[in-house]
Amino acid sequence: MEKRKIEVCFTPALLPLYHIENAIVVVIDIFRATSSICYGIANGAEAIIPVATVEQCKAYESEGFLLAAEREGEIVEGFDFGNSPFAYTADKVKGKTVVLTTTNGTHAIDESKKTAFQVIIGSFLNLDAVCNYLRNQNKDVFLLCAGWKNKFNLEDSLFAGAVVHQLNHDDYFLDDSGIAAADLYRQAQDDLIAYTAKTSHSERLKKLGIEEDIRFCLNVNIIDSIPVLKENRLVKL
């Protein structure tokens, strides 16, 4: 294999600066979209369809799908559920198709699918599965943090750092954001919950009463499947 590169993009706003035609893009929105997507697919959801807007989500009403919409951390009125991972358990999603729109995560999927070689979904829940898959493909790696409204956020960057940290032994070219993310992860890895509790985002989520969600999203390697985007549907790889 030629020496591959890993790039870390801290927010979708910076995506236009990169060339991702030869890269597998890992979309990262730890609190909570991509954690919930990974959990739902692992729990047997047939597909999760990410859409950019609440209106697009509503348009699927007649198809008998589960509709999930989150904005500003809360379930949008009139929807079955939002992006809490506890809404993606087997008893709720097994064999079903979920249509999902969220503040940051589905936007990042939408932006990257236009040019990426492939789009997969990462979270701490399936960290090792993601790393093992990337290691075995002869492709560049592009870690796309969904961030918070196009700004940098800590938890997504930490997960990007975890991937860089694991793949680094395989001698990839790293960019500066990859170096920074991996160093942050090494500081945080012994206690991800304590580390991410420092963030303003985490404060905001606490106010929403979803601390249990947050703790759940920081579980490492509890599932071993990976959602992959195929024709606008996320399915098990």
Backbone angles phi, psi at 73, to 5 degrees: 85, 0
Out of 6, 10, 66, 123, which residue is the one contacting a copy of itself (CB under 8 A)? 10
Residue 184 lies near a copy of itself (rule: CB under 8 A): yes
**Among the listed residues 54, 132, 152, 220, the single contact to a copy of itself using CB under 8 A:** 152
Identify any residues that bridge with 14 across adjacent strands, giving them in sequence order: none
Per the CB < 8 A criterion, the answer to whether 137 and 144 are in contact is no
SS3 letters across 119-157: EEEECHHHHHHHHHHHHCCCCEEEEEECCECCECCHHHH
Q: Which of 19, 71, 94, 151 binds a copy of itself (CB under 8 A)?
A: 151
CB of 108 to a copy of itself, least distance (A): 15
Residue type, 156: D
**String of contacts with a copy of itself for each residue 194-223, x by CB under 8 A:** ----xxxx----------------------
CB under 8 Å to 58, separation ≥6 — which residues?
67
CA 125 vs. chain centroid, Å, equals: 10
Nearer to a copy of itself, 22 or 200 (CB): 200
Q: Which residue of 1, 2, 3, 17 would you call a contact of a copy of itself, by CB under 8 A?
A: 17
CB of 86 to a copy of itself, least distance (A): 25
Which of residues 115 and 199 has its CB atom nearest to a copy of itself in the complex?
199
As a whole number of angstroms, the distance between CA 235 and CA 233 comes to 6
Give me the phi and psi of 116, to 5 degrees please.
-65, 150
Region binding a copy of itself by CB under 8 A among candidate stretches 36-44, 45-53, 85-93, 171-179? 171-179
Contact positions toward a copy of itself, by CB under 8 A?
A: 10-11, 13-14, 17, 148-154, 157, 173-177, 179-180, 183-184, 187, 198-201
